[in-house]
């Protein structure tokens, strides 16, 4: 199930790139991603529902579900890591419809989101949760894009280098957590 | 009459400030040992790589005084207050709250508290979640527990039928771990509180997480058996670190129990993520 080799990828992720990825693949991602979590998702979805314009185009973008700690003096960013993705599920289909291609978080997605990722030919990656001091070393620059008033939940643009990820949901509907649970049930 | 000892509020504030900054940057030695032991026992390359990242992260966080996790948590405080202590120079609860405010400001910790409905951030990570207990003596013991949201969301309390018994509890917890371990940043520490009133069970589960990892329940032979059996059952699930497969789904199971109503069987379970952060001091 697991592949030992590691695939190096650069954003933007396109449908062609995503079609090459399978659940269980290990990836080192470089390039540019957005951060957005609960409150920003709620605003994105409200804006789309009203037919408004998002503060940033989501076309072929990758969203990292994350809100860093405040940046101490002399550093690029504080500690940063994935939050639980399932809380973003109610908004994700709308965002994929607005052009979103990749997502980085941790934990399981709903069956609706797994299907929406397949249809969009997108990808959902898991990053390791709880290793935010080490993960901060993959971030080379940070800039504020939108929603400054949300404090830690503001939308940021991050430039990342060799961020270690694993493909959970792929463009064929594959689901790594389901694969693991299936093996678990077989062993029971 | 016992001598009354005075403890000034500013000492309480300074202690709380120091504890929350330290707890967010340093993992306790018992936890590090448990993760190293788990790393030795793992065979899957993904599981090994995740446990290596966790150990590496603990090292970087400690050396560079960076938070271990971006979720620096709600500030949960357990305070055991000696009955011969007189707190002077202010309000005890406000002193705790001020310590939390200063820790999250000065330690560059994330403020993760918000209004439940508007979701507006309170801005300084207060109020603290404060549990107080009056105990014998003339000291105050303060335990700072930064509590992250991801694993908290995978925790809960259930009022089982008394007929469920141990087997019912076992099945219930196995199901909750299977559903929640990936979201809760496994390997988890499982805290179980059985019995009491509903809120007793929850506090027992929370307190169970503060025990030295892997130390068996000190008071009840039956609970020691339950802890051992449940840990083996959970790790046989194969869910593994971060839910990506492996032998280490839980590092330990800690069970605490209290008598309950003849009609009830409250069971609270806390799936605590691998960053089991807590730090304490005695004043």
Which CATH number characterizes residue A87's domain?
Answer: 3.20.130.10
Domain B150-276: which CATH number of 2.60.98, 3.30.1330, 3.30.70, 3.90.320: 3.30.1330
Q: Which residues of B208-231 are buried (b: 16+ CB within 10 A; e: fewer)?
A: bbebebbebbeeeeebeebbeebb
Structural domain includes residue A1: no
Cis status, amide bond into A12, omega within 30 of 0 = yes
CB-nearest to A68 from B60, B70, B237 is B70
Which residue's entry shows tokens 């439940």? B116
Q: Is the pLDDT of residue A164 over 90?
A: yes
CA A4 – CA A80 distance, rounded (Å) = 26
Q: Is the pLDDT of residue A184 over 70?
A: no
pLDDT confidence band for A2 (50 / 70 / 90): very low
Q: What is this structure's pTM?
A: 0.92
pLDDT, tens only, B251-276: 999 999 999 999 999 999 999 999 99
Residues B61, A126: C-beta atoms closer than 8 Å: no
Average pLDDT (A134-157) is 95
pLDDT, tens only, B28-61: 999 999 999 999 999 888 999 999 999 999 999 9
CB-nearest to A81 from B46, B70, B240 is B70
CATH 3.30.1330 intervals, chain B: 150-276
A6 lies within 8 A of chain B by CB: no
CB-nearest to A152 from B44, B64, B110 is B110
Q: Scanning every residue of chain B, which has its alpha carbon at the shortest distance from the alpha carbon of A187?
A: B237
pLDDT, tens only, B120-154: 899 999 999 999 999 999 999 999 999 999 989 99
CB-CB neighbors (< 8 A) of A184 in chain B:
178, 237-239
Domain holding A15, by residue range, is 6-187
Rg of chain B over Cα atoms, rounded to whole angstroms, equals 19
A105 lies within 8 A of chain B by CB: no
Residues B149, A83: C-beta atoms closer than 8 Å: yes
Q: Is the pLDDT of residue A5 over 90?
A: no
| A positions 129-158 inside 8 Å of B (CB) | 129-137, 150-153
Tokens of B192: 């179980």
Q: Is the pLDDT of residue B210 over 50?
A: yes
Average pLDDT (A94-123) is 96
pLDDT confidence band for A1 (50 / 70 / 90): very low
The number of domains in chain A is 1
A128 lies within 8 A of chain B by CB: yes
**Average per-residue pLDDT in chain B?**
94
């Amino acid at each position: 199930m697991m592949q030992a080799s590691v695939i190096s990828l650069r954003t933007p992720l396109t449908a062609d790139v995503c079609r090459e990825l399978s659940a269980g693949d290990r990836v080192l991602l470089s390039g540019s991603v957005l951060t957005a979590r609960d409150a920003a998702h709620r605003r994105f979805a409200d804006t789309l529902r009203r037919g408004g314009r998002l503060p940033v185009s989501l076309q072929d973008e990758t969203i990292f579900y994350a809100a860093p700690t405040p940046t101490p003096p002399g550093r690029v960013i504080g500690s940063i890591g994935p939050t639980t993705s399932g809380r973003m599920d109610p908004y994700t289909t709308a965002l994929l419809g607005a052009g979103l291609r990749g997502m980085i978080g941790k934990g399981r997605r709903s069956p609706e989101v797994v299907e929406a990722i397949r249809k969009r030919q997108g990808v959902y990656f898991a990053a390791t949760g709880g290793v935010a001091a080490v993960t901060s070393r993959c971030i080379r620059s940070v800039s504020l894009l939108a929603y400054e008033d949300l404090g830690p939940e503001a939308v940021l643009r991050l430039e990342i280098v060799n961020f270690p990820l694993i493909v959970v949901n792929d463009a064929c509907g594959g689901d790594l957590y389901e694969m693991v649970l299936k093996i678990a049930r077989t062993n029971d | 009459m016992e001598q009354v000892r005075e403890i000034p509020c500013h000492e309480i504030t300074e202690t709380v400030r120091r504890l929350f900054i330290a707890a967010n940057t340093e993992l306790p030695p018992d936890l590090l040992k448990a993760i190293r032991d788990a790393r030795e026992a793992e065979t899957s390359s993904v599981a090994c790589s995740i446990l290596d990242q966790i150990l590496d992260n603990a090292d970087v966080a400690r050396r560079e005084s960076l938070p271990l996790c971006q979720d620096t948590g709600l500030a949960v405080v357990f305070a055991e207050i000696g009955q011969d202590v007189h707190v002077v120079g202010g309000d005890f609860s406000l002193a705790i709250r001020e310590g939390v405010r200063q820790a999250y400001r000065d330690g560059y910790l994330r403020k993760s508290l918000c209004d439940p409905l508007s979701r507006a951030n309170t801005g300084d990570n207060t109020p603290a979640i404060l549990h107080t207990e009056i105990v014998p003596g003339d000291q105050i013991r303060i335990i700072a527990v930064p509590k992250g949201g991801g694993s908290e969301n995978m925790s809960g309390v259930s009022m089982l039928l008394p007929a469920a018994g141990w087997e019912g509890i076992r099945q219930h917890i196995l199901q909750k771990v299977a559903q929640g371990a990936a979201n809760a940043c496994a390997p988890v520490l499982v805290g179980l509180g059985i019995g009491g009133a509903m809120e007793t069970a929850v506090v027992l589960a929370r307190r169970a997480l503060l025990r030295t990892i892997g130390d068996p329940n000190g008071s009840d032979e039956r609970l020691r058996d339950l802890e051992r059996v449940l840990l083996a059952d959970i790790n046989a699930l194969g869910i593994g670190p971060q839910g990506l497969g492996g032998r280490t789904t839980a590092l330990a199971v800690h069970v605490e129990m209290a008598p309950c109503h003849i009609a009830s069987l409250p069971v609270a379970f806390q799936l605590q993520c691998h960053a089991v952060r807590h730090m304490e001091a005695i004043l």
